[in-house]
Homo-oligomer: A and B are copies of this chain.
Amino acid sequence: MVNVTVWNENRHEKSNPAVSEVYPLGIHGTISEFLSKAGFAVKTATLDEPEHGLTEEILNNTDVLIWWGHMAHDEVRDSIVGKVKQRVLDGMGLIVLHSGHFSKIFKALMGTSCDLKWREAGEKERIWVVNPSHPITDGLPEYIELANEEMYGEHFDIPAPDELVFVSWFQGGEVFRSGCTYRRGNGKVFYFRPGHETYPTYHNEQIQQVIINAVKWATPVKRSRPVYGNSKPLEEL
């Protein structure tokens, strides 16, 4: 069984009634609910728990970690970020959602600013599939339409994704690389754009399908980290 940990900053939910109305269980609660129904073993973790809920024991027993953060990226301790990064290199899958583009862990794995254009205007978004054989698109139509979302626009300052899965269209004139896969060490990383805290995006069944597919895709393969360092030649082995 695949072990998923859903990490959420969980601050907007506490301070903004508009958010807690849309996500009475918290964003982590909603995501955790549909992942459980999909058959994964799901835990949650949030910023204000000890060690942000990401103890070594929890990390070591997580196959795929989901990350939602926004207003408190700076409060995430560097030592925890370091441990999460090491777990990704060791094989743990990581799915970074929406404003998580500016999280310490995503920036550390990308090596770029991860900056972008944004606008909160409740615009229509269409998330187009551009990679129709990719397992993350399983069961999806040609595009997902969201009536109201925050706009994210190019240039998105990321490394060219290993695989570009989705490209978003926004009413106001922008496009965005909305679904991007990366491999880092033994681990797989997926960035997925939608999910502003004031819109019911994670209640959308197609969005849920993407995240379910991404968890399956990001599940680690069964192999140890390669051996590094000083190495003997063929003849002496």
Contacts and interface: CB of A to CB of B under 8 A. Distances in A.
A118 B230 contact: yes
Nearest to A135: B221
A110 interface: yes
Contacts of A230: 117-119
Task: Tell me the number of copies of this protein.
Answer: 4
Contacts of A156: 130
A32 B133 CA distance: 25
Contact of A185 (B113, B163, B169): B113
A185 B172 contact: no
A154 B133 contact: no
Interface residues of A, number: 74
Interface in A152-192: 153-157, 159-160, 162-164, 167-175, 177, 182-188
Contacts of A229: 115, 117-118
A170 B175 CA distance: 9
A137 interface: yes
A127 to B, nearest CB: 10
B142 A155 contact: yes
Contacts of A226: 129, 132, 142, 154-155, 157
Interface in A51-92: 89, 91
A235 to B, nearest CB: 7
A121 to B, nearest CB: 7
14 contacts: A112-B185, A113-B185, A115-B228, A115-B229, A117-B230, A128-B153, A133-B188, A135-B221, A138-B221, A159-B183, A159-B184, A160-B163, A160-B164, A167-B177
